[in-house]
């Protein structure tokens, strides 16, 4: 039971937190840009947030696709092509 909790934590919680933090970085950058007192756009911070967001979402989506392929729950277009 404990190992299942650790696996869920590693596979879902950590990448989800990384994606959420990336989204927060992008949001904060845009809010800072539209603030009339500051009005600066930090492209590095925005791009780092975008990369973290995409990596977190891609990891979770890839894991879900992998487990669904193992259970044969995906549509034929998402199944792996068999090698001849």
Q: Does some domain include residue 5?
A: no
Residue 38 to residues 27, 34, 41, 43, 44, Cα–Cα distance (Å): 15, 8, 9, 15, 17
pTM of the model: 0.82
Residue 15 forms part of a structural domain: yes
User: d(Cα 63, Cα 6) in Å, to the nearest integer?
Assistant: 15
Residue 52 falls inside a structural domain: yes
* Rounded Cα–Cα distance for residues 52 and 44 (Å): 12
* Token pair recorded at residue 59: 């990891």
What gap in Å lies between CA 46 and CA 25, rounded to an integer? Answer: 6
In a domain? residue 17: yes
Q: What is the pLDDT of residues 19-70, one digit of tens each?
A: 999 999 999 999 988 888 887 888 999 999 999 999 999 999 999 988 888 8
Residue 83 pLDDT > 80, yes or no? no
With respect to residue 37, please indicate whether it lies within any of the assigned structural domains.
yes
């Amino acid at each position: 039971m404990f190992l299942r909790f650790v696996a869920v934590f590693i596979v879902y919680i950590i990448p989800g937190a990384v994606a959420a933090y990336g989204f927060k970085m992008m949001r904060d950058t845009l809010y800072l840009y539209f603030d009339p007192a500051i009005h600066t756009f930090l492209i590095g911070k925005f791009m780092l947030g975008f990369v973290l967001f995409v990596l977190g979402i891609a990891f979770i989506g890839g894991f879900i696709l992998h487990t669904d392929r193992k259970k044969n729950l995906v549509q034929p277009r998402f199944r792996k092509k068999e090698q001849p």
